A and B are shown apart, each in its own frame.
Chain A
Amino acid sequence: MLNMQNVTKIFRTDLVETRALSDFNLHVKEGEFVTVTGPSGSGKTTFLNIAGLLESFDDGVYDLDGENVRHLNDTQRSRLRNEKIGFIFQSFNLIPDLDLFDNVDVPLRYRGFNGSERKRRIERCLELVGLANRMKHLPAQLSGGQQQRVAIARALAGEPRFLLADEPTGNLDSKMAHSVMQLLKDINDEGTTIVMVTHDPSLAREAKRNIFVKDGKVSDVTHISASAPEPIASISASGARHV
């Protein structure tokens, strides 16, 4: 699914050159759930941005789904992001002027689905995260955990094969964090490949594989035996009760 070989990313500013990634190597298979940990500034977000085609890189090879993305132009990258990749951000990044429905609608619009298809998907995804009854609310009217669940719904709406999350639980308490984690695991069980950056070792342990990034390199890989997943319903319900 994702294959990075010797990927190097250098940030150049007037004063300094930062090697955010140097000879970064990683292979993620279809259906995997990989967590990424590492000290602050080690290059986790940079890796995720490159993986998600948000940023270009300076050297190396990156194949996404067997396609070399190095020389794709902006439109092609946008297209790939839209169709194959779902994003979950640490600070949720919901659009404040749009209600939940319209927020989840954003990537579907770019996908070019017709109205009824979009509506079906939006309702199903909001249902999935337990917020179907708050479709007409604005993000500001939700708690952080709820906002993150809307963001997950938005990421899922396009049915991406690849979900990238940068500290999705960073702004949530541990209970909320675990419920979001559970949601992601359920999604993974449905077949979606997930790469998640986190600082929380307990969450990192819940994935199938954990990679440790240091100084822009993968320094350690831990394989974790799969644990039994809990049913989705209970998590969504607990999230809804939290309201």
Chain B
Amino acid sequence: MLHLSSWEIGPIFRAMTRNKVGAVLIALQVAVTMCIIVNAVHILMERTMQMARDSGIDEANSFYLSSTGFADDFNDQVVIQTDLDAIRALPGVIDAMQINAIPISGGGWSMGLQTQPGAEFEGVGTAVYMVDDHVLNTLDLELIAGEAFKPSDIRWRQRSQRDWPAEIIITRALAENLFPEQSYQDTVGKTLYINDDEPVIVKGIIDKLQAPWVGWERLENAMLSPEQTLFSSSTYFIRTEPGRLDELMPAVEQMLADSNKGRVVRGLRSMQETRDRTYRRDQAMIKILTTVMITLTLVTALGIVGLASFNVNRRRKQIGTRRALGASQVSVLRYFMLENFLISSMGVILGAVLTVGLNIYLVQSLGLTKLHWWLIPVGMLTLWLVGQLAVLGPARRAAATSPAIATRTV
């Protein structure tokens, strides 16, 4: 620190230019490593953020299963009512209902809603959940405007039936999509058109509910339609008290299977599992990228350690001579750290260019989003740090070189 002249930047640099290849190799390694790491972190953050989006329902304590009748005397309507009554009566169950599709599961029903009738107007896409009056409690939704469904609102829907109930509940996001200029509260009571010209009235607004398709750009557009379905299969959605899920899942399955032999009970799955399956690829990608980043950093660091150790050995005599000429241990340490810093600097500058280049390529050809600019300085800093840490060991060994080497070695 005493004198700037003892920092030897000039001589280090000139010595390096006589030994270009080694320095260039490390710089290139640092550059490519930075390019990979920054882009990987970017992808990682993108995925983590997607996965962190709230579905709006009580995922931790919910599960569902399906029942498919096959016996000739199977009466859907009766069975569904009996099933739901029985499930709701179970201790530990908060509420239960029939539903046509499961949020974030990947499969569901969508429709277009428009504010004016007529095929020529474009609709706003929305997920459709067919539910009964237990929906708010079962899905743990909050009604933020208007009214909830009453038992008398619920109708039965036949398999190929095309018309829609008179009133629906929509999510706040959908309300704001349909009427961008108005506050969502004012949407209550408005008439919307489904199937181009069939009117439905907005009865209420819920805070949040995700559609089944997590990759959809309008993920929070969802509507609740007050009806129970008489399709070939019925899916029951059940919310339990906290901590009772594991015990209730097999219990409900068993109860349904035992209560009626003329059907198949299948597809028992918790919401947690559904989430895991839906985001499995993202989760996998995150793990793979993390592994790649760690091993890559390790490889680069080991490369630096290897090359630096080698250089220290090769320069033992030179180090001894420097020590004999008055270099303190700190000066020797500083020499190697500074040398690495200069090489890393070239690396990270090139790395910044490569990083942006790869990101542009990924944006254009694979539809990734643009990099946050601050990731680049953070990446540069990280690689500087990795380099300094990697070179610390060899540099300390160099500093410990005895000045007597100067006269002892040939």
Which residues of A line the B interface, CB within 8 A? 45, 48-49, 52-55, 74-75, 78-79, 81-83, 85, 87, 89-91, 93, 95-99, 102, 105-115, 118, 138, 154, 158, 166
Given contacts A89-B321, A95-B318, A54 and B402 within 8 Å (CB-CB) = yes
Q: Are B6 and A110 in contact (CB under 8 A)?
A: yes
Q: Are B326 and A111 in contact (CB under 8 A)?
A: yes
Q: Which residues of B contact A102 (CB under 8 A)?
A: 10-11, 14-15
B395 to chain A, nearest CB (A): 16
CA distance A54 to B14 in the complex (A): 28
Q: Which residues of A contact B283 (CB under 8 A)?
A: none
- 21 A-B pairs within 8 Å (CB atoms) are namely A48-B407, A52-B324, A54-B406, A78-B323, A78-B326, A79-B326, A79-B328, A81-B325, A83-B326, A87-B325, A87-B406, A89-B406, A91-B410, A93-B320, A93-B324, A106-B325, A110-B322, A111-B326, A112-B2, A113-B5, A118-B5
Q: Which residues of B contact A109 (CB under 8 A)?
A: 5-6, 8, 11
Q: Are A74 and B325 in contact (CB under 8 A)?
A: no
Q: Are A110 and B325 in contact (CB under 8 A)?
A: yes
Q: Which residues of A contact B8 (CB under 8 A)?
A: 109
Q: Which residues of B contact A105 (CB under 8 A)?
A: 11
Q: Mark B112-154, 1 if CB is under 8 A from A, else 0.
A: 0000000000000000000000000000000000000000000
Main secondary structure of the interface of B (DSSP, over half): helix
A18 to chain B, nearest CB (A): 13
Q: Which residues of B contact A79 (CB under 8 A)?
A: 326, 328
State whether the Cβ of B408 lies closer than 8 Å to any Cβ in chain A: yes
B335 to chain A, nearest CB (A): 10
A58 to chain B, nearest CB (A): 14
Least CB separation from A49: chain B residue:
B404
Q: Which residues of B contact A99 (CB under 8 A)?
A: 14
State whether the Cβ of B392 lies closer than 8 Å to any Cβ in chain A: no
B403 to chain A, nearest CB (A): 4
Complex interface residues of chain B between 356 and 391 (CB less than 8 A to chain A):
none
Tell me the count of chain B residues lying within 8 A, CB to CB, of chain A. Answer: 32
B278 to chain A, nearest CB (A): 59
State whether the Cβ of B317 lies closer than 8 Å to any Cβ in chain A: yes
CA distance A54 to B322 in the complex (A): 11
Q: Are A112 and B324 in contact (CB under 8 A)?
A: no
CA distance A181 to B321 in the complex (A): 22
Q: Are A95 and B3 in contact (CB under 8 A)?
A: no
State whether the Cβ of B331 lies closer than 8 Å to any Cβ in chain A: yes
Q: Are B19 and A97 in contact (CB under 8 A)?
A: yes
CA distance A105 to B5 in the complex (A): 10
CA distance A95 to B315 in the complex (A): 9
Q: Are A110 and B326 in contact (CB under 8 A)?
A: yes
User: Of A48, A53, A106, which contacts B322 at CB under 8 A?
Assistant: A106
A161 to chain B, nearest CB (A): 14
Q: Are A45 and B328 in contact (CB under 8 A)?
A: no
Tally of A-B residue pairs with Cβ under 8 A?
Answer: 104
Complex interface residues of chain B between 296 and 347 (CB less than 8 A to chain A):
317-318, 320-331
Q: Mark B234-278, 1 if CB is under 8 A from A, else 0.
A: 000000000000000000000000000000000000000000000
Given A49-B407, A75-B329, A81-B403, 9 other A-B residues pairs in contact with their CB atoms under 8 A = A54-B402, A81-B325, A97-B14, A97-B15, A97-B18, A98-B15, A106-B325, A114-B5, A166-B407
Q: Are B328 and A78 in contact (CB under 8 A)?
A: yes
Q: Which residues of B contact A54 (CB under 8 A)?
A: 323-324, 402-404, 406-407
Q: Which residues of A contact B406 (CB under 8 A)?
A: 54, 87, 89, 93
Q: Which residues of A contact B2 (CB under 8 A)?
A: 112
Least CB separation from A45: chain B residue:
B407
Complex interface residues of chain B between 7 and 61 (CB less than 8 A to chain A):
8, 10-11, 14-15, 18-19
User: Of A82, A89, A115, which contacts B326 at CB under 8 A?
Assistant: A82
Q: Are A87 and B324 in contact (CB under 8 A)?
A: yes
Q: Are B327 and A110 in contact (CB under 8 A)?
A: yes
A49 to chain B, nearest CB (A): 5
Q: Are B321 and A93 in contact (CB under 8 A)?
A: yes
CA distance A102 to B9 in the complex (A): 12
CA distance A113 to B323 in the complex (A): 18
Q: Which residues of A contact B331 (CB under 8 A)?
A: 78, 110
Q: Are B325 and A82 in contact (CB under 8 A)?
A: yes
Residue among A52, A95, A166 facing the most chain B CB atoms (10 A cut-off): A95
A202 to chain B, nearest CB (A): 23
Q: Which residues of B contact A74 (CB under 8 A)?
A: 328-329
CA distance A49 to B321 in the complex (A): 12
Least CB separation from B400: chain A residue:
A74
Q: Are B18 and A81 in contact (CB under 8 A)?
A: no
Q: Are B18 and A93 in contact (CB under 8 A)?
A: no
Given contacts A89-B321, A95-B318, A98-B15, A107 and B326 within 8 Å (CB-CB) = yes
In the A-B complex, the 10 residue pairs with the closest CB atoms = A82-B326, A112-B3, A97-B15, A78-B328, A93-B321, A54-B403, A107-B325, A110-B326, A81-B326, A54-B404
